[in-house]
Amino acid sequence: MSSENLSEFIEKVSSPIIVCQADSGICSCNDAAALLLGFSRQDMVGQKFSDLKLKYYRRDGTPMVWEDLPMAEVLTQGRPSLGRIIGIKNDVSDSMVWIKMDIQPEIENGGRLGRIILSLNDVSESIERKETDKLVESAKDEWERTVDAIQDLVIIMDSERNVIRANKAAHEMRGFKYGELCGKKCFDVFHRKSGPCKGCPTWTPGMEVNVCTGLVYNDILKRTFEVTSSPIFKDDGKLKYLVYTARDVTQKLKDEAEKHRLMAAIEQLSEVVQITDSKGNIQYVNPAFTDKTGYTRSEAVGQNPRMLKSGEHDDEFYTEMWRTLKSGRVWKGRLINRKKDGDIFWEDATISPVYGSEGEIQNFVAVKRDITKEKSLERQLRHAMKMEAVGTLAGGIAHDFNNILSVMIGYGQMAKGRVEETDPTWGDIDQILMAGDRAVDLVKQILTFSRKDTKEQFKLVKVQYMMKEFLKLLRSSLPMTIELKHSIQEDCRPILGNASQIYQVLMNLCTNAKQAIGGSYGTIWVNLKEIQVAQGDYKIAGLLKGPGEYVELEVIDTGCGMTVELQDRIFEPFFTTKLKDHGTGLGLAVVHGIVKAHEGEIEVDSRVGEGTSFHIYFPVQQVSMDTVPDADELEHTGTGRILIVDDEDTIAQLFERMLRKLGYSPTVFTDSLEAVSKFRKNPNDFDLVLTDMTMPKMTGAELTREVLSLRPELPVIMTTGFNETIDREMAMRLGVREFLLKPVKKEKLSQVVRTVLGDG
């Protein structure tokens, strides 16, 4: 066919056709071919294929160069190329066209390549459809693999609750092979029931078109699942499918329950639990923290524990604590902290680091126990042990010292009786006797603070009456810069005590308050009231012996206050912070001893710069008590035969001289066994026995039993410098008529002997 006829033919056909010469490029093409490639016929005719701005691609999308194209193969090899599909892009439109290309070359005489006819077929739609199907299939496979990889159960059901699809986890959960769940009812598969589960939280009537979530317990598996159902709708809005997802939350619920139990336990602990971040900022405190410190949770969270610092620990203490914690070790120790209201309290604390998943310290947990009460009891025990040791020493000293004072005072009185008042010696002897009296008072003070004084002078005392008189005297002794205030309950019931000793307590405490205020302006409060202490009260556990009724005496000042260390020592004998010549250090020790002797308790609370308060508790008395009458200060003479027994020869001789001068007939023994032997031979030779208590061989108590076994009606007077094994009450039970503490002055001896013999 000639070139003219061929051009005329290809213009008439609808299929895209291109005719080209091997050496001169495109010689003819129809409109369909030009349109397919994105050109006009004029743009294409006369051009070589290699000059056209086209890009070529393989089926897999990779680009092709000219040498790889079927046209290049035909030009170089002269063989036809049929059915090849390539992708072509025009630089102008940049749209991909997939073309099935049939290329038929013509071979001229002599084997030379002539015309080449290209028949093109647009297969883009078919290729795209296949690619889409492939993508859909790939997406489907990927979706199924993804859903099968999910550990939760995923189930698709129709509106009749038939399983359409289910993932691998759903099959494995019930022991089915993959695909076997399809077509089965969900309630049959998972609950072995013939109908829908009653009360199913994920599919209740009228709720199937909404997303529902609920907990479902599976009786067969004995596990709890969190189930969510999500609807899929048709184009007409009707329900098509329900997608169920079920997650096994059995362990999660157990963990949460355990967490709740743990939190409930922590919330109810009496110990303080405090959690901070790694920098020490508080993140959590339990209610015990609020109870102990006075700070609310909102006040504490976000703060640093330094808000509790009392100032009792130095910087090195905290540095060492943080050095331990930052190194990852547990810190254990004792903290002295301050409450919101300013009160000091003690804690035994254990602080532990909490590690994160990567081994870093995330938090610190402190568990702290309030030991303020224990510290108070510990201080009291230490003080009691000190006082016990001092008391033991004081008792031994008092016995010997009183014997010495008996000789001093007794013979001093005897010497004074032999001189005239105009004699200069009279004044010297008076000074000796006055010094002896002061020594007697000192011994009494020592016995008082050691709580070894006797109760022979105790009687019912209404403290409010004596306080009124005391306050009158106190006001006159205070400078005008100190204001004195008081509050006295008028109807306080009496206590069993010694008024002069209670007066001494008030005087010592108020003197200390005055000195604590010094030259500054200040106030002293003296208060008295009756209180009822119930079972479980703090003061019972920490101070008092038990519940009951007490009279509370308070002395409060606004003076300089004391540190905790000073408060621990103020009741020690001879301990003082005063300057030389401003105090002996016996004042508060005596106060402590007097209070203990009255079966009471004393408590001190002080803060540096804020003042000090003393609280004293005396038990209220309901019954009366007989008291010993005051000694008659006048000398009386009398008659009678008196057996004197004392292992101290000087004291025995002193009593002999005193009694002989008073008109009595004394017989002296320094050996108690000899005295008893003499008495046994002639029991009726004596009208009275005067015996010491502490003697070798035979004590005064044993001697009393011996003589009274022979003459039960015989009066016996017992004396002692000091003895822990016997007091006035015990002596009276032995049959003793009178019990005297040495030193015994002549006037007292005269009065007691006359009374016992019935001459007074």
Please confirm whether the linkage preceding 696 is cis (ω < 30° from 0): no
pLDDT digits (tens, 9 = 90+) for 294-308: 999 999 999 999 999
Return the minimum-mean-pLDDT range out of 216-225, 321-330, 681-690: 216-225
Instruction: Kindly state the average pLDDT of the residues 249-268.
Output: 86
Contacts 24+ apart (CB under 8 A), 325-333: 325/351, 325/353, 325/364, 326/361, 328/353, 328/355, 328/361, 329/353
Please compute the mean of the pLDDT values over residues 672-691 and round it to a whole number: 93
Query: Can you tell me whether residue 449 is helix, strand or coil?
Result: helix
> Which position has the token pair 């014997």?
403
The domain covering 150-253 belongs, at the CATH homologous superfamily level, to: PAS domain (3.30.450.20)
Mean pLDDT of 71-78: 82
- Classified as helix, coil or strand, 213 is strand
Per-residue confidence (pLDDT) for residue 631, from 0 to 100: 36
CB 245 within 8 A of CB 165: no
Of 524 and 76, the one with more pLDDT: 524
356 confidence band (pLDDT: 50, 70, 90): confident
Q: Report the CATH fold assignment for 459-619.
A: Heat Shock Protein 90 (3.30.565)
Q: Are strands 17-21 and 113-122 parallel, antiparallel or unpaired?
A: antiparallel
Query: What is the distance between the alpha carbons of residues 300 and 290, in angstroms, rounded to a whole number?
Result: 9
Spell out the domain ranges in the chain: 3-126, 150-253, 269-370, 376-449, 459-619, 641-757
pLDDT of residue 626: 43
pLDDT at 750 over 60: yes
Model pLDDT for residues 694-708, shown as the tens digit of each residue: 899 899 999 999 999
Q: 727 in helix, strand or coil?
A: coil
| Residue 666, pLDDT score | 93
Position 231 scores a pLDDT of: 84
Q: 219-228: list long-range contacts, CB under 8 Å, 24+ apart.
A: 219/191, 220/190, 220/191, 220/192, 221/173, 223/248, 223/250, 224/248, 224/249, 224/250, 224/253, 225/153, 225/249, 227/201, 227/202, 228/202
Tell me the pLDDT tens digit for each residue of 492-506: 999 988 877 888 888
- The sheet with strand 548-557 has its strands ordered as 482-488, 522-533, 548-557, 611-619, 601-607
At residue 35, does pLDDT exceed 60?
yes
Residue 336 is inside which H or E element, if any?
Answer: strand 331-338
What average pLDDT is seen over the chain?
82
CATH 3.30.450.20 fits 3-126, yes or no: yes
CA dist 743 and 296 (Å) reads 64
User: Which of 504, 556, 499, 507 has the alpha carbon at shortest distance from 528?
Assistant: 556
Class (C level, CATH) for 641-757 = alpha beta
Query: Is the pLDDT assigned to residue 23 strictly greater than 80?
Result: no
Q: At which residue do the structure tokens 């001092």 appear?
A: 390
Q: Which span out of 200-214, 237-251, 454-468 was modeled with the highest average pLDDT? A: 237-251
Question: Residue 333: what pLDDT?
Answer: 93
Cα distance between the two ends of the chain: 180
pLDDT-above-70 percentage for the chain: 86
Q: How far apart are alpha carbons 136 and 653 in whole angstroms?
A: 133
**CATH superfamily placement of domain 269-370:** PAS domain (3.30.450.20)
Phi/psi of residue 414, nearest 5 degrees: -60, -45
The CATH number of 376-449 is 1.10.287.130
- Residue 563 pLDDT exceeds 80: yes
Using alpha carbons, select from 757, 629, 742 the residue that is nearest to residue 689: 757
Instruction: State the Cα–Cα distance between residues 33 and 46, nearest whole angstrom.
Output: 15
Q: Does this chain's domain 150-253 share its CATH topology with 269-370?
A: yes
Distances (CA, A) of 127 to 61, 98, 208, 220: 12, 7, 42, 52
Which stretches within 238-371 are classed as H helix?
250-268, 287-293, 297-300, 315-326
Grade residue 454 by pLDDT with cuts at 50, 70 and 90.
very low
What percent of the chain has pLDDT above 90? 26
Query: Residue 333 to residues 366, 367, 369, 547, 726: CA-CA distances in angstroms?
Result: 11, 11, 11, 34, 47
pLDDT of residue 372: 84
Q: Is pLDDT at 556 greater than 90 in this prediction?
A: yes
Q: What is the pTM of this model?
A: 0.41
